[in-house]
Amino acid sequence: MREVIYMKDLRLARFSTERSTIEVKGVTIGGKEIILMGGPCAVESSIQMSRSARTVKKAGGKILRGGVFKPRTSPYSFQGLGLEGLNYLVQAARENDLLCVTEVIDASSLDLVGDKVDLIQIGARNMQNFELLKLAGTISKPIILKRGLSATIEEWLLAAEYILAAGNPQVILCERGIRTFEPSTRNTLDLSAVGVAKELSHLPVIVDPSHAAGRRDLISALSKAAIAGGADGLLIEMHPNPAEATSDGPQSLYPEQFIQLARELGTVAGSVNRVFACGGQEDEDTLESLRTQIDNIDQSIIKCLVARMKIVGKVGDQKRLDRVKDTNREKEIIQRLVNLAEELQLPSELVKKIYPLIFEFGVQSQIKSKVALDKELDLSCYPLGSK
């Protein structure tokens, strides 16, 4: 009975035939590869972030985390470094070829970080901040949406629906433990929620074992359990010096523990037909991991072609039927891309072969839609049966 209610309102988040993948600068979340994200709870200094970034990179992680606006339980706890911290996060990520994510807590923090980070986190405490969800729906960055401390799966998915309904299709769900009567851990990691969310929704689901456990000794086991349970990635707190951390030190892994965990993840991933390649030359270049990288790039190429064809369609709407093919513009584009290819040491012959085909398909689709439109107009001017 309840299922009927929320399935009805999951208009965009509901699973129908295919799982969604989210592409961010060459990283695919929700594909075959398990995506590891790590870093401190809060950004504290430039050196802390650059050490954290090096560890994440070494472990084969793809995304550096770090909070600069911290929604703390007590008003007297450290609230984050704000913009100064954001610069440390972004710079450390960039220097280590990582993406970065930070949490936003309101409209103004979203405004401040929106253009600077690659992904945005909406934390457990803001999962039902509906105005923030609606704003997150207006931007074109992936949103990691944590499950609220006491939110049901239904409420969590409907929160995701808010972002989707406001126009942003890139939502990643994150299970981070819920409040139960059990006091031995900070929260209770609800691993069933991963399976349930993936059954009901097409969105990728990741797991944050750190805020669930609240203690570092459980992180490794919970991370492996999450991967075995179908999670698409992990968001783990790690600090170069947890004893000195301004927040969540007891649950933060030491860098060596983070790397050790990453070394062990590949086997678990393999057992559920996923891949995870720990950093380091030997692991990065296995045939399987290279093929995964190629598969991800191929997916991005096709998605880019889809986006190109959509724009070509809009351009077609503005052209006259006898002006659809523009040979001069095609020549100009090819010349520009040949120059770029040469600069990047890609054989320019490839560009010269591929692009005429892309143009041809674009022109054909513009002609087809123009002819269809003309027919429609004819029919509306001279409806069937009229004289």
Contact residues for ligand PEP, defined by CB under 6 A: 41, 67, 103, 123-125, 146, 176, 208, 211
Residue (90 or 275) nearer to ligand PEP, CB: 90
Nearer to ligand PEP, 252 or 296 (CB): 252
CA distances to 9, 189, 233, 379 from 212, in Å? 28, 5, 15, 62
Closest approach of Mn ion to the CB of residue 363, in Å:
53
Q: For tokens 């968001």, what's the residue?
A: 235
Q: How far is the CB of 208 from Mn ion (least distance, A)?
A: 9
> Which residue's beta carbon is nearest to the bound ligand PEP?
123
What's the closest the beta carbon of residue 42 comes to Mn ion, in angstroms? 7
Residue 123 touches which of Mn ion, ligand PEP, none (CB < 5 to 8 A by kind)? ligand PEP
Residue number with CB closer to ligand PEP (103 or 161): 103
**Could you say which of Mn ion, ligand PEP, none residue 161 binds, taking C-beta under 5 to 8 angstroms by partner kind?**
none
Nearer to Mn ion, 243 or 381 (CB): 243
Q: Pick the closer one to ligand PEP by CB: 197 or 351.
A: 197
Q: How far is the CB of 303 from ligand PEP (least distance, A)?
A: 29
Q: Using CB atoms, what's the residue nearest to Mn ion?
A: 41
Q: Which of 41/101 has CB closer to Mn ion?
A: 41
Contact partner, 176, from Mn ion, ligand PEP, none, Cβ < 5-8 Å per class: ligand PEP
Q: Which does 124 bind (CB under 5 to 8 A by kind): Mn ion, ligand PEP, none?
A: ligand PEP
Tell me how far apart the alpha carbons of residues 329 and 344 are, in angstroms, rounded to a whole number: 23
Please tell me whether residue 131 adopts helix, strand or coil conformation: helix
Q: Closest by alpha carbon to 256, among 241, 272, 274?
A: 241
Residues 31 and 296 sit within 8 Å (Cβ to Cβ): yes
Quote the least distance from Cβ 125 to ligand PEP, whole Å. 6
Which tokens hold the place of 212?
A: 């669930």
**Are 330 and 359 within 8 A, CB to CB?**
yes
C-alpha–C-alpha distance, residues 189 and 208, integer Å: 9
Reduced to 3 states (helix: H, G, I; strand: E, B; else coil), residue 156 is: helix
End-to-end C-alpha distance for the chain, whole angstroms: 56
DSSP annotation of 33 reads B
Q: How far is the CB of 176 from ligand PEP (least distance, A)?
A: 4
Q: Which is nearer to ligand PEP, 178 or 351 (CB)?
A: 178
For Mn ion, the closer CB: 236 or 261: 236
Helix or strand or coil: residue 323? helix
Query: Alpha helices of the chain — where are they, by DSSP H?
Result: 2-9, 46-58, 83-95, 107-113, 130-136, 153-165, 192-200, 209-213, 219-228, 255-271, 281-284, 287-317, 327-343, 348-381
Q: Report the nearest approach of ligand PEP to the CB of residue 37 (Å).
A: 10
Q: Is 118 helix (H, G, I), strand (E, B) or coil?
A: coil
- Give the nearer residue to Mn ion in terms of CB position, either 177 or 229: 177
Burial bucket for residue 244 (CB in 10 Å: 0-12, 13-18, 19+): exposed
The residues of the shown chain that bind Mn ion, judged by CB under 5 A, are 41, 248
Is the Cα torsion angle 18, 24, 27, 33 positive or negative in sign?
Answer: negative
What's the closest the beta carbon of residue 236 comes to ligand PEP, in angstroms?
Answer: 10
Q: Amino acid identity, residue 74?
A: S
CB of 274 to ligand PEP, least distance (A): 23
Which one of Mn ion, ligand PEP, none interacts with residue 44, CB within 5 to 8 A by kind?
Answer: none
Residue corresponding to tokens 């349930």: 196
